[in-house]
Amino acid sequence: MTDFPDPLPWLIVLPLLWGTLAFLLGPGRGGRLAIAAIALQGVLALQLAGQLLDDGSRVYAVGGWGAPLGIDLMADGLAAVMLLLTQAVALPLAVFARGYFAASPKGRELFWPLTGFLLAALNALFVSADLFNIYVTLELLGLAAVGLVAIAGGRQPVTAAMRYLFATLLGSGAYLLGVALIYGSYGSVSLAVLTPLLTSEAPLAVTLAAALILTGLLLKTALFPFHFWLPPAHGGAPAPVSALLSALVIKASFYLVLRLWLELFAPLATVAAAQLIGALGAAAILWGSWLALTQTRLKMLVAYSTVAQVGYLFLLFPLATLVPLGAADSAVQGGVMQAVAHGLAKAAMFAAAGSMIVATGRDDIGRLGGVGARLPLTLFSFGLAGVTLMGLPPSGGFSAKWLLLMAALESGQWWWVAVMIAGGLLTAAYVFKVLRRAFLPVAEGDRVTRVPRTLEFSAFALALAAILLGLFGAPLLELLAVGRAA
Amino acid sequence: MIDPWLPALVVLSSFLPGLVIFFLAEERIRLRTALNLIGAFAKIALIGVMLWGVLNDHEYVFRHTVLPGLDLVLKADALALLFVTLSAVLWLFTTLYAIGYLEGAPNRSRFFGFFSLCVTATVGVAMAGNLFTFFLFYELLTLATYPLVVHRGTEKALRAGHIYLAYTLGGGALLLIGTVWLYGVAGQVDFAPGGTLSTLTPDTAGQLQIIFLLLIAGLGVKAALVPLHGWLPMAMVAPAPVSALLHAVAVVKAGAFGIVRVVYEVYGIEFAQSLALLLPLAIAASITIIWGSLRALFQDDLKRRLAYSTVSQVAYIVLGVTLFGPLGTLGGLVHLVHQGIMKITLFFCAGNYAETLGIHKVSEMDGVGRRMPWTTLAFTLGAFGMIGVPPLAGFISKWYLGLGALEAGMPWVLAVLAASSLLNAAYFLPILHRAWFRPPSTAWPHESIPQRGRWETAPLLLLPPLATAAATLVVGLFAASDFSPLDWAKLIADREYLQWTP
Amino acid sequence: MKAWLTALTVLLCSGLALALGGAMLALPEFAVRLPAQVTANLDTSGVSHPVTAVLLNFRGYDTLLEVAVLLLALLGVFALSRHADEHAPRATPAHPVLQTLARLLAPLMVLVAGYLLWVGAHAPGGAFQAGAVLAAAGVLLRLAGLLPAWAQPGRLLRGGLALGLLVFLAVAVAGLPQGSLLHYPVSMAGALILLVEAGLTLSIGLTLAGLYLASAGAKR
Amino acid sequence: MTPALAFDLLLIAALLWSAARALTIADVFHAVVLFIVFGLLMALAWARLGAPDIALAEAAIGAGLTGALLLDAVGHLRARQREPEQ
Amino acid sequence: MSAALLYALAGAALFAIGLAGLLLQPHLLRKILAFNILGSGAFLILVGLGQRDGIIDPVPQAMVLTGIVVAIAATALALALARQLLDLTGQMRLPEDRPDTEPADD
């Protein structure tokens, strides 16, 4: 490597290091360290993306052994996109969290170390090319996420964390069993070694393994009907945590589903399975949006919105499986674009919701009157994020929907068009439910206080990024193409 | 070269001030007003430059690739400038009027912020160079107008906002499906005179017909074509400047303008004719004209009556589009401008009555002409124009529509025009009669601006309607001169018909 | 829960077991075989016990992340016990016999841990087993009432908990200039692994004990 | 049947039985005790599979430490359930 | 059939037992036991299948060592959560009803 330092290992080491240091510094400390380090991670991710664009995807043998004896890391365009998303979401959120916990200190003691480990897990997961290593990153991720949900204490968050823990453990249990079956069948867990071995004549054990692994990951992604754990967990945690979980954590397992489906398990993919996943996605969109609409608590509404938006991610599977190449490409691009756009927008939305809750002192959609007057920037950010989720142009959400719609028409699967359009309208309904309340004057007896500037601006930065993604998304697609068979 | 950036600058000239205004403190009235006016005048100046260029066969195109095969295109061609000029000039008047209208009201920064965004969207709609760009600004328009519709924050306003959103977002969804489908069938098609779809293979004809239906339905919502018009009368709960904006400058116009673009510059009028798409649209427009007028007849609420009048009048534009032949085109296009000028006058006046005397209903207008003669004079000009009394603006439109109907071999349209004119007279003349000839009632419902010397109301409320009323007269009287809307519409019609020589 | 749902779940789980069993009986030959590769590379791994070689060298990266998982779990437990402090009853004094036993056994267990750590290089044993024994000593001392509860770990204790991960990270990063993360030069591999294992033994011992002391121990 | 096979079958039967009982037995304390037994049996199984490292770890961590944690939790649960009566 | 494969089969049965327990048992402690049994099943399969040809394979053994540590970490966290829940609600089970404002779904 001519580059020094090599960004790839540092993207994993750095968050582990600052997470540990934040723990050493003591309860509640380490925010400034975290912000600086995440900014550095952002630079590293950009550097890595640049390398990939120049030289194509790369394999990194940890310890110099190489697969199958050692563990390989692999960075291609898809991984780089997810890495960029992670750091891009984490940086503003870290700034937000510092302000948020200053205003609302419940749960701040261990936020930074847990977040450090969470980011390390995400970065490690995105570049791992080893099924068992992925299992370890999944556990690191899951336990960090559960810990974060529980940090504020209280009956509802602890219940949610418990439910979340069982869901995520069950998911990784299924995943681990799948890995065991694959190792037992072929004698390796390296993706690079396995991919050529796995053909459509694979033994039953491998098919079972694929089913177990994918089901476990779907559970972790909270795809309908496995969504039961998500709303209380994401709706009950402190706002910066909700934002991290909704924006990034569920994307990690989605990323794995996508990668495995397109690469390792591609020979086993059937139209029926793809349609089934798509149908679950469609159900998630409609059911999640509908439930979002019926919520009275702001953060629960945003959390149910995540259930719905996750559904869009999974529409890519029927659109990319055994269809003409152009449609499949467009579908994958759309799905990844949706992951990125939703990541940015949902982080913005949870951050904005957190500011509103700090300002009004309660988590109640009916009592948002006055927010529009006192926190215009926050409300504006919420609205911009809403635009992305609705899929209106220009926004990353629109680009994603456009690509998915094109894929649907090109592959002649018009029924997904109807789902996407209906979902967009339902989204508009619940976003405007919040906005119209916030436009009202302050209700009698309520108070709306100002919040620190950093809270308002970090949410705005995220929302703006989601919009700009819609205008300048082409480079992202170029990066995504690195390492994908043309 | 700065040329490609000019269209973008026109859009930004209201977008940037809008953003700044949005975050201005409520008390910064001077700065806000200054920003508003600087934006408005800068826009008009930029448009002036481009008008000169387009007249000399120059085109200004701004292009930015959003995704592979998906470009954001802003293009200043003759058709775009027709609409842009209209909305930029009327925006200036509306802004002045709104400053007077909202004096002392709460949340003005928010109001003017969205107001500017709304015009930004309209200008974008006008200059969109392809369907995607059009859709982008069309949806932005929805989002920017919603806060204006619900601005008062009353239950009624919120309900109207709900209905407005349901209709317009639904329409947007149809438009999106149509657009995506069209991109799937034909690839990226930029708007171009004469249309571009006629080169497609014949086996796509069926699909193209369905797409046309989707596009027109999507656009018809904002254009308030029956039966998609339900939101418009509801939305008149908004403050008067907003109504002016909705009815004359932005929203319904965006819909009508979109229909013009789709028929002429996506399908091409000749290709649309060959797909047998024009006649159904003409029938829909005719029904809308009659139905809107009929409903207007029975409204006592002044703004509701005007709203139904808009339903009917905007359909004239659509009707003109469907009359195959340059004269019909001319009538439709010129009415795009004329209807805007006339209807904005009427809404300004209605706002004046409400603000000054608390008059909201036709039945309360007895003798108002004596208390507010100038306003009533402007109202009278606008109303006569709508009826089509020569030599006012509306007459010119109807004249060319009539000629166009004959040219297109659709004489039944003449009957529609005649019936509608009669109905127009039937719902406007009684108002005028009350205003001028009935004795005033003893007390006005709620007089809030007293007579001060010669000023029957606040100057900023009075001057804009007088100016636009004068324009109603001028564009009619001088229709034949250079640079009149009619002259510009001829230029456009020239370029739309490939086979036509005047 | 409804009876039919229970029955269905049991049925599905049995079905899964049967399917798994059937699938396992119908497996082809291995396509890749790692034991031979492990043996072939054992000389350059720095240790002679294959499992330790895999754990700390070939797949040392897994272990690095796993240590983080362990520390993470402790963080989660701390986060929770923090809220429980108020209603935690005081520790009751333990039986004197238990105290004496603990005083005798604890040093012995530390010795055993040291032995396990040392022997791990060439025989079953290593940091995890050693750490577990160390933790058992801690639990025993706590049961005997000889150790305080840990809900608010002090600076020194935090240092001890983090030490293993930090040493491991340092060794991992030290490999970067030589070629890659966790790259050990052959001549130093044995020493480096022992260094890492020593750090891990201490931290794993403390962490495992902490998992008990921070939650369970705090309430007694 | 060789003695080794017999031992394996017996061990597996014991494993399955202890696992199933641990999950179905009425009393939680008994369940935990059965689980510790299960852990020790697992250690035996690992030894039979030629994995002494895992056997050691399972005995120390799986059965030992997990057992201690579980027993403590049961104690806490019982103390809590007794509380209202006091 | 090798002894290793026999244990792998036992692992499959253990996994199923654990899965059923995790899904069906409302008591949190039992859910935690079930999760551990499920994990042990997976570990047995990993080593058992990996050594089905009778050759001792240190790679899956090392993986299982890693897995056991992960399992105890998860178990400790789960127990801490369960105890917290006990303190807050007086019960060691998840409430069947969903949080107050949430309508019952599925």
**Residue A159 touches partner E, C-beta closer than 8 Å:** yes
Average pLDDT over residues B86-103: 89
Whether the pLDDT of residue C27 is over 70: the answer is yes
Q: Which two tokens stand for residue A98?
A: 């510092």
Average pLDDT over residues B31-59: 89
Cα angle value A51/A52/A55 (rounded, 5°): 80
CB contact under 8 A, A184 and E45: yes
How far apart are alpha carbons A424 and A415 in whole angstroms?
15
D contacts of E34 (beta carbons < 8 Å): 23
D contacts of E13 (beta carbons < 8 Å): 16
Whether the pLDDT of residue A1 is over 70: the answer is no
How far apart are alpha carbons A146 and E94 in whole angstroms?
16
Residues 347-406 of A with CB under 8 A from C: none
Q: Who contacts A54 (Cβ-Cβ below 8 Å, separation ≥6)?
A: none
Q: Which two tokens stand for residue A444?
A: 């009698």
- Give chain D's residues under pLDDT 70: 83-86
- At residue B103, the 3 state secondary structure works out as coil
CB contact under 8 A, A9 and C158: no
pLDDT one-digit tens code per residue, B415-468: 999 999 999 999 999 999 999 998 887 778 878 777 777 788 888 889 999 999
How far apart are alpha carbons A146 and B126 in whole angstroms?
51
Q: Which residues of B touch A (CB under 8 A)?
A: 22-23, 64-68, 70, 72, 106-107, 109-110, 132, 135-136, 139-140, 143, 146-147, 150, 153, 158, 161-162, 165, 169-170, 172-173, 176-177, 180-181, 183-184
Q: Which two tokens stand for residue A383?
A: 């609205």
Minimal CA–CA distance to A360: which of A406, A317, A298? A298
In percent, the amount of chain E with pLDDT more than 70 equals 89
Whether the pLDDT of residue A269 is over 80: the answer is yes
Q: Which two tokens stand for residue B167?
A: 């209709």
**Residue A154 touches partner E, C-beta closer than 8 Å:** yes
Task: Give backbone dihedrals phi and psi of A60, rounded to 5 degrees, phi first.
Answer: -130, 115
Which neighbouring-strand residues pair with E27? E93
| Terminal CA-CA length for chain C | 35
How far apart are alpha carbons D48 and E80 in whole angstroms?
34
Minimal CA–CA distance to A238: which of A165, A302, A299, A308? A299
Would you say E39 and A177 are in contact if contact means Cβ atoms under 8 Å apart? Answer: no
CB contact under 8 A, D57 and C216: no
Residue of E nearest to C210 (CA): E76
A contacts of E34 (beta carbons < 8 Å): none
CB contact under 8 A, A144 and C72: yes
Chain A touching partners, 3 or more CB pairs below 8 A: B, C, E
- At residue B60, the 3 state secondary structure works out as strand
Average pLDDT, chain C: 86
In percent, the amount of chain B with pLDDT more than 90 equals 52
Residue with tokens 């004096």: B103
To probe the interface with E, which of A177, A215, A227, A362 has the most E CB atoms within 10 Å? Answer: A177
In percent, the amount of chain B with pLDDT more than 70 equals 99
In percent, the amount of chain A with pLDDT more than 70 equals 99
- At residue A452, the 3 state secondary structure works out as coil
To probe the interface with C, which of E25, E44, E46, E59 has the most C CB atoms within 10 Å? Answer: E59
| pLDDT band at residue E102 under the 50/70/90 scheme | very low
User: Of the candidates C24, C62, C77, which has its C-beta nearest E12's C-beta?
Assistant: C24
Would you say E26 and A202 are in contact if contact means Cβ atoms under 8 Å apart? Answer: no
- At residue C73, the 3 state secondary structure works out as helix
User: Looking at this protein, which amino acid is placed at residue B397?
Assistant: S
How distant is the Cα of E49 from the closest Cα of chain D, in angstroms?
11
For residue C83, the model assigns a pLDDT of: 62
For residue E68, the model assigns a pLDDT of: 94
Whether the pLDDT of residue E44 is over 90: the answer is yes
Total domains present in chain D: 1
How far apart are alpha carbons A411 and B142 in whole angstroms?
31
- At residue A61, the 3 state secondary structure works out as strand
Residue of C nearest to E56 (CA): C35
For residue C139, the model assigns a pLDDT of: 85
CB contact under 8 A, E62 and C59: yes
CB contact under 8 A, A287 and E105: yes
User: Of the candidates E24, E81, E83, which has its C-beta nearest C9's C-beta?
Assistant: E24
Q: Which two tokens stand for residue A420?
A: 């996407």
Domain map (residue ranges) of chain A: 272-486
Q: Do chains A and C touch (3 or more CB pairs under 8 A)?
A: yes
| Terminal CA-CA length for chain B | 35
Q: Who contacts A249 (Cβ-Cβ below 8 Å, separation ≥6)?
A: A118, A122, A141, A145
User: Looking at this protein, which amino acid is placed at residue D47?
Assistant: A
How distant is the Cα of A177 from the closest Cα of chain E, in angstroms?
5
Minimal CA–CA distance to E47: which of A212, C68, C124, C35? C35
How distant is the Cα of A385 from the closest Cα of chain B, in angstroms?
13
Whether the pLDDT of residue A345 is over 50: the answer is yes
Residue with tokens 């399917």: C19
For residue A225, the model assigns a pLDDT of: 92
CB contact under 8 A, D31 and E36: no
Cα angle value B28/A361/A157 (rounded, 5°): 140
Minimal CA–CA distance to D75: which of B368, E29, B41, A122? E29
How far apart are alpha carbons B242 and B354 in whole angstroms?
14
Q: Which two tokens stand for residue B256?
A: 């009508």
Q: Which residue has the higher pLDDT, A92 or B246?
A: A92
* Alpha helices per DSSP H over B187-277: 205-223, 231-234, 240-244, 251-260, 269-274
**Residue A402 touches partner B, C-beta closer than 8 Å:** yes
| pLDDT band at residue E96 under the 50/70/90 scheme | low
| pLDDT band at residue E99 under the 50/70/90 scheme | very low
Q: Which residues of A58-94 are buried (b: 16+ CB within 10 A; e: fewer)?
A: bebbbbebbbbbbbbbbbbbbbbbbbbbbbbbbbbbb
CB contact under 8 A, C1 and E77: no
Whether the pLDDT of residue A2 is over 70: the answer is no
pLDDT one-digit tens code per residue, A238-247: 999 999 999 9
E contacts of A158 (beta carbons < 8 Å): 81, 84-85, 88
C contacts of D55 (beta carbons < 8 Å): 124
For residue B1, the model assigns a pLDDT of: 62
**Residue A209 touches partner E, C-beta closer than 8 Å:** no
pLDDT one-digit tens code per residue, B384-422: 999 998 889 899 999 999 999 998 888 899 999 999 999
Minimal CA–CA distance to D29: which of D65, D64, D72? D72
Q: Say which DSSP state A74 is in.
A: E
Residue of E nearest to D25 (CA): E30
Q: Say which DSSP state B198 is in.
A: G
CB contact under 8 A, C76 and A146: yes
Residue of E nearest to C35 (CA): E57
Whether the pLDDT of residue B479 is over 90: the answer is no
C contacts of A136 (beta carbons < 8 Å): 62, 65-66, 69
How far apart are alpha carbons C164 and A278 in whole angstroms?
45
E-assigned strands of B112-164? none
How far apart are alpha carbons B104 and C79 in whole angstroms?
53
Whether the pLDDT of residue A446 is over 60: the answer is yes
The number of beta carbons lying within 10 Å of the beta carbon of residue A147 is 31
- At residue A59, the 3 state secondary structure works out as strand
Q: Which residue has the higher pLDDT, E103 or B286?
A: B286
For residue C91, the model assigns a pLDDT of: 52
User: Looking at this protein, which amino acid is placed at residue B161?
Assistant: G
How far apart are alpha carbons D39 and B111 in whole angstroms?
70
Whether the pLDDT of residue C39 is over 70: the answer is yes
Task: Give backbone dihedrals phi and psi of A93, rounded to 5 degrees, phi first.
Answer: -65, -35
| pLDDT band at residue A112 under the 50/70/90 scheme | very high
Q: Who contacts C77 (Cβ-Cβ below 8 Å, separation ≥6)?
A: C210, C211, C214, C215, E76, E77, E80
| Terminal CA-CA length for chain E | 45
For residue A167, the model assigns a pLDDT of: 96
| pLDDT band at residue E98 under the 50/70/90 scheme | very low
Average pLDDT, chain D: 89
How distant is the Cα of C156 from the closest Cα of chain E, in angstroms?
22
Residue with tokens 């130093």: C188
Q: Who contacts B9 (Cβ-Cβ below 8 Å, separation ≥6)?
A: B46
Residues 113-172 of A with CB under 8 A from C: 113-114, 117, 120-121, 124, 132-133, 136-137, 139-140, 143-144, 146-147, 150-151, 153-154, 158
Would you say A242 and A338 are in contact if contact means Cβ atoms under 8 Å apart? Answer: no
- Here the contacts of B419-426 (C-beta below 8 Å, separation 24 or greater) are B419/B290, B419/B293, B420/B289, B420/B290, B420/B293, B420/B312, B421/B387, B421/B388, B423/B290, B423/B293, B423/B294, B423/B296, B423/B297, B423/B312, B424/B293, B424/B309, B424/B312, B424/B386, B424/B387, B424/B388, B425/B387, B426/B297
A contacts of C9 (beta carbons < 8 Å): none
User: Of the candidates E1, E19, E84, which has its C-beta nearest C80's C-beta?
Assistant: E84
How distant is the Cα of C118 from the closest Cα of chain D, in angstroms?
14
For residue C138, the model assigns a pLDDT of: 87
Q: Which two tokens stand for residue B462?
A: 């009075």
C contacts of E58 (beta carbons < 8 Å): 35, 38, 50-51, 53-54
For residue B140, the model assigns a pLDDT of: 94
Average pLDDT over residues B18-47: 88
Average pLDDT over residues C26-32: 91
pLDDT one-digit tens code per residue, A114-139: 999 999 999 999 999 999 999 999 99
Would you say B14 and B120 are in contact if contact means Cβ atoms under 8 Å apart? Answer: yes
Task: Give backbone dihedrals phi and psi of B3, rounded to 5 degrees, phi first.
Answer: -45, -50
Average pLDDT over residues C186-208: 92
| pLDDT band at residue E1 under the 50/70/90 scheme | low
CB contact under 8 A, C125 and D65: no
How many residues in chain E?
106
pLDDT one-digit tens code per residue, E12-32: 999 999 999 999 999 999 999
Minimal CA–CA distance to C180: which of C60, C65, C49? C60
pLDDT one-digit tens code per residue, B364-390: 888 888 889 999 999 999 999 999 988
Which domains does chain E carry? Answer: 3-89 (1.10.287.3510)
User: Of the candidates A150, A180, A300, which has its C-beta nearest E81's C-beta?
Assistant: A150
C61: number of CA atoms within 13 Å, CB side? Answer: 36
A contacts of E88 (beta carbons < 8 Å): 154-155, 158
pLDDT one-digit tens code per residue, C81-132: 766 554 444 455 667 888 888 888 889 999 999 999 988 888 888 888 899 9
For residue D84, the model assigns a pLDDT of: 57
Residue B480 domain-assigned (yes or no): yes
Q: Who contacts D71 (Cβ-Cβ below 8 Å, separation ≥6)?
A: D29, D32
For residue B488, the model assigns a pLDDT of: 86
Whether the pLDDT of residue B491 is over 90: the answer is no
Residue of A nearest to C55 (CA): A70
pLDDT one-digit tens code per residue, B189-228: 889 888 888 888 888 889 999 999 999 999 999 999 988 9
CB contact under 8 A, E46 and A143: no
CB contact under 8 A, E78 and A184: no
